Amino acid sequence: MFGYPCYFINGNMFAGLHQDHVLVRLSLKDRAALLAAYDESTLRGPLPNCKMREYLALPPSLCGREEELAAWLGRALAYASSLPPKAPRKKSRKK
C-alpha cells in the first residue's frame, strides 16, 4: 500500500506499514478497546486526509512490546478472516 508492505487474508487487508506506523484492521469492539487502552492522541487513522474505515495506526510504543503487538495483529487477522473473501479483480484488456 503506497509502496509499503501490507498483509492480506482471503483478499482482505488486515495489517500493513505506512511510513513508521503499523496499521491494523479491527472490529468495532477491538477499535474501542484499543482506543480505551492507549492515549488517544497517539492513535490515528492511517492517513491524515484519507478515511480508511476499520483501520487504526498502532501507538509507536507498542513496537517495543512484541507480545502486545502480536496480540493486536492476531485480532486484526481474526477480524479479516471473518470477512467474506474478495473475488480477484479481473484484469482489464488493453488494446
Q: Is the pTM of this model over 0.85?
A: no
Burial class of residue 9 in the structure, from the number of CB atoms within 10 Å of its CB (0-12 exposed, 13-18 middle, 19+ buried): middle
- Give per-residue pLDDT as tens, 24-60: 999 999 999 998 888 765 566 656 666 678 888 888 8
What cell numbers appear for 62 in the block? 507498542
Q: Which residues contact 34 (CB under 8 A, 6 or more apart)?
A: 26, 43, 56, 58, 72
Residue from 84, 75, 71, 82 nearest 55 by CA: 75
Confidence of residue 15 (pLDDT cuts 50, 70, 90): very high
Distance CA 34, CA 95 (A): 49
